[in-house]
Amino acid sequence: MTTNTAARDIVVIGAGIVGMASASYIQRAGHRVTILDPGGPGEGASFGNAGCLNGSSVVPVSMPGALAQVPRWLLDPQGPLVLRWRYLPAIAPWLWRFVRAGTPEKVAAQARALRALLGPTLESYAPLVKAAGAEDLIHRVGHLTVYKSEESFAKDGAAMGLRRDNGVVVDDLSFDELRQLEPGLSRDFVRGRMITETGHVGDPHRLVTRLAEAFARDGGRILRERAQGFEFADGAVTGVRGESGLHRADRIVLAAGAWSKSLARELGDVVPLDTERGYHVVLRDPETTPRHPIGSADGKFFATPMDQGLRVAGTVEFAGLDAPPDWRRARTLLRQAQAMFPGLARDIPESRISHWMGFRPSLPDSLPVIGPSRRYRNAFHAFGHGHVGLAGGAMTGRIVAALVDGAKPPIDITPFRVDRF
């Protein structure tokens, strides 16, 4: 940790991967940091993601032609993307912005911004991972995308082109090359693509808890409290109201993931933040497991070899923060995993299966909000990382730590500004 003669009191709201990485980087700059979260570290979206540290994930969710897909989403309850009818009025303005974000020019700009944020993922994590003794959780074997037909391989060409335009090296694989890399993969997958620069985490929740342990060891405070609002004086935030009282702060960071919207509003910023809910299923002691994380282009899910077993994660469900999970979606992921890896048992005892649902914090243009609030010079946003918050957490931490010190962030943060909507 560096010694900072101007050590300040910083409150970080949210102990997901984004809040935890931010708090860790701010602490390394020599400040006194308190984190507030009603739950334990990493129990939100950061608990159950697919674990991919993909600096190559530069393709926004809304791509040209998104409008044409909407009717299909509405009609296929088992498809990779569903909308609960009851939630349609609430999500409609978000969807409208989402569709409008998918023009070729906007997509090219979003991809450039995402590459800057995500490209240095592994090196941005490296100092935090080392200090937390978490090297065993980080694997650097690249990842595969697999296709069931030449047609879907060709259809994904535009997205892969966007990656290549941003400096990602993508290798196209034949049927046989794919088998050599992944012998257990079903022969239904006829083509593949390999990206070698990426990594993955053996247990995303444990990564956050290890960062939390190191943070506490180095003097940081983590309080199990919900942030309820702020105190202000002279155009600045002076404290965060928590359940136990007021926490005085010289600077605050809002990193409450999908729950950041109302707190951002209190800071004067109206943001179209919603949630793309996602699911996972974990199979303990799988009969077979892939060597790499594998993304199914057709099924829109990832199968990642993890410490607890094989995790299959994905799908997008628009249903807000309050609706109960629809566990049929996790069962669909399980069936897809069994089809992807024929070596898996057909009847897997429930004792070997666990399910999870989490809330991706999503903005319609697939970019997070990172930067100062419009109204309060000492309040900084760090939320809305959608599908890439694990990969983007560490660079976000570096950015926020620079902002807290009034220094120049390591990358251009203009694309992530809160007033872009």
Ligand X SMILES: Cc1cc2nc3c(=O)[nH]c(=O)nc-3n(C[C@H](O)[C@H](O)[C@H](O)COP(=O)(O)OP(=O)(O)OC[C@H]3O[C@@H](n4cnc5c(N)ncnc54)[C@H](O)[C@@H]3O)c2cc1C
Does the protein bind ligand X through residue 128 (CB under 6 A)? no
Site for ligand X in 259-278 (CB under 6 A): 259, 278
Stretch that binds ligand X, among 12-20, 84-92, 190-198, 370-378 (CB under 6 A): 12-20
Stretch that binds ligand X, among 15-23, 99-107, 138-146, 401-409 (CB under 6 A): 15-23
Name the E strands within 236-290.
236-242, 245-248, 251-254, 274-283
Identify the residue whose tokens are 């609960």: 84
Distances (CA, A) of 16 to 45, 121, 206, 217, 394: 7, 17, 11, 18, 12
- Please identify, using beta-carbon distances, which residue of 279 and 380 lies nearer to ligand X: 279
Does the protein bind ligand X through residue 387 (CB under 6 A)? yes
Q: Which tokens go with 327?
A: 């566990």
Does the protein bind ligand X through residue 399 (CB under 6 A)? no
CB of 337 to ligand X, least distance (A): 14
Dihedral sign, Cα of residue 44, residue 45, residue 51, residue 54: negative
Radius of gyration of the chain (CA): 21
What letter would DSSP give residue 232?
E
- Please identify, using beta-carbon distances, which residue of 278 and 415 lies nearer to ligand X: 278
Beta bridge partners of 251: 10
Site for ligand X in 39-58 (CB under 6 A): 39, 43-46, 49-52
> 285: Cβ–Cβ under 8 A, 6 or more apart, which residues?
309, 352
**What is the distance between the terminal CA atoms of the chain, rounded to a whole angstrom?**
37
Site for ligand X in 274-303 (CB under 6 A): 278-280, 302
Dihedral sign, Cα of residue 406, residue 411, residue 415, residue 418: negative
Site for ligand X in 21-40 (CB under 6 A): 36-39
CB of 187 to ligand X, least distance (A): 26
Does the protein bind ligand X through residue 142 (CB under 6 A)? no
Distances (CA, A) of 25 to 1, 245, 384: 9, 26, 19
Residue 399, helix vs strand vs coil = helix
CB of 228 to ligand X, least distance (A): 7
CB of 419 to ligand X, least distance (A): 20
Does the protein bind ligand X through residue 385 (CB under 6 A)? yes
Which positions touch ligand X (CB under 6 A)? 13-19, 36-39, 43-46, 49-52, 226-227, 255-259, 278-280, 302, 313-314, 358, 360-361, 383, 385-391
